[in-house]
Structure 1
């Protein structure tokens, strides 16, 4: 179900803005194709049947100019099984609007869409193009001045994203005011064709293109934010709005506007996670396999390079992925480490230390989560747990690790 608008060389026609009809149609076609034909993406192994967030935003029909906040248990949704979309974005200092204990009734009565930040308004454009009526945005669905509400909602972040029909990522925006859509120089996105005999033994026309994924997605401003790692990994489908293109990632394929049928040789890393967790659940060994352990290390090393507005979120912002690993493996999660791999995981090393923003306790000192800065796991480092316990017996026992 790809767009049939192409250039003379067979490459898709690229319009000057990612808000164009052709761009959003391409994105919608990827979404529809995934929902209707990707068996793996529709297994819903990570999701929870019938689960909904505490609150959702109702954007109404396409002609509606207002949004309103729903408390799902009280207001319900229509139909009862209606899907919802989520948004990944970067916050700004002193963001507005946000849900507060003092304005929740006002939000439930409805507010004008035109008063929302540009990224939120653009997100509504995308949701309506996908015929999705309900959306979830953390600033508007979690009471921001209530510690009690945060303590209830934070543990549900895993299910917020795994149960969404699709997550939209504002990859290049540094704040909600910058929006999803971008103007672009279409000349930079033209496919280059050269003769190549590498694969067939005879010269045939072949495309040359950049490494779009690393440049436009992984190195984009959004993906330096700590919370986004689990949002990207847990959502069944992610639609990224980059600087020059819209990108798609599900459990089956990665795509972009210039290569709408898929990036060659690109297999989503989340597919590895799905396969390994499925195997772990079937084996019921209660021990982290080497492959799954290496995936966890990859995730937390990537996570250590991200920034958090609140240092106290260090473990909370990756808790959804940890819970997923724990549910499938049966292993015990201990402040960022795994019981079956505890000795190995004590060999971490901070390669680029950063000054701590806060001295408030967030993790025991033997956990990588107690530090700020890029870290690596030193696989060649020999750790003697009994001697460590002799040095720090109270700290280890107080934090839930039994002394030997």
Structure 2
């Protein structure tokens, strides 16, 4: 038995075609994530809302990788970028764990290098997701807005609409209450897979499920229609007010919940749970 869950708001018939791995770690979910992005980019409605090549946020975190596959990150300002780019954004709960953020005294240092070993686990995981999708810039609020400058915050907060509207993909840490919790989760797939029930021709269900006796004979798959609500809407991130604009404005969002990964498209062309 396998399971690919569709958002209950999606009118299409549920399809169960993808084997669920025992974790949402990138090594287990990268293939599905790439498929979602490729499929979404292939939909005409989704292409029409693609990121604007001429929009670049005031600051971005640039990701580079050397010949030894070692990842490095640094702060890049708009004036430093002379070519069209794609970038991801991160939606996350700050909570009480924020090991480093951008301050006026750190701008020069971070333009050379942001210490990767000091950023939070959720930031590191989001960077790995971006790299896996071949997107080498990411916008993270606490690293791209100067946190000890009210003037900079006022200026940058006024551009948040564009930052999310023109990203290529928003990465949402739905299941993480703060940066100390990772994007990825181990999980018991037996609790996520649909239950297969066979109603026999005589109207009697297999395994003595007598309360199904009124159902027509055939094969049935029972699945949790509230999965999306549990994994996204009622997750820690979904309870924060500001995330409404991030979900509404982003052309597409990949949600990392407590047990599943969800894909959400603004055009509702490809909403699924994995």
TM-score by length of 1: 0.57
Match of 2:232 among 201, 217, 242: 217
Deviations along 1:221-250, one digit per CA (max 9) or x if unpaired, are 001112111001100000000111110011
* Deviation (angstroms), 1:49: 5.3
Paired position in structure 2 for 1:23: 29
User: In terms of mean alpha carbon deviation, does 210-219 or 93-102 score higher?
Assistant: 93-102
Larger relative contact order (C-alpha < 8 A, sep ≥ 6)? Answer: 2
For 1:64 and 1:152, the matched residues in 2 are separated by 34
| 1:38 and 2:26 are equivalent in the alignment | no
| 1:254 and 2:274 are equivalent in the alignment | no
Count of aligned residue pairs for this structure pair: 244
* Deviation (angstroms), 1:39: 1.0
Paired position in structure 2 for 1:70: 76
Deviations along 1:156-210, one digit per CA (max 9) or x if unpaired, are 000000100000100010101101001111221122122479xxx9633232111
Asked if 2 retains the 8 angstrom alpha-carbon contact of 1:65 and 1:114, the reply is no
Superposed, 1:5-404 pairs within 5 Å as: 11-35=17-41, 37-44=42-49, 50-61=54-65, 63-73=69-79, 75-76=80-81, 80-93=83-96, 95-195=98-198, 203-210=217-224, 211-250=226-265, 251=267, 252-257=269-274
Deviations along 1:276-323, one digit per CA (max 9) or x if unpaired, are xxxxxxxxxxxxxxxxxxxxxxxxxxxxxxxxxxxxxxxxxxxxxxxx
Asked if 2 retains the 8 angstrom alpha-carbon contact of 1:239 and 1:247, the reply is yes
Report which of the two has the higher share of helix: 1
* Deviation (angstroms), 1:94: 6.4
* Deviation (angstroms), 1:11: 4.5
Unaligned ranges ≥5, structure 2 = 4-15, 204-214
Unaligned ranges ≥5, structure 1 = 258-404
* Deviation (angstroms), 1:55: 0.3
* Cα pair distance change 1:104/1:153, threshold 3 Å: same
Paired position in structure 2 for 1:341: none
For 2:77 and 2:257, the matched residues in 1 are separated by 32
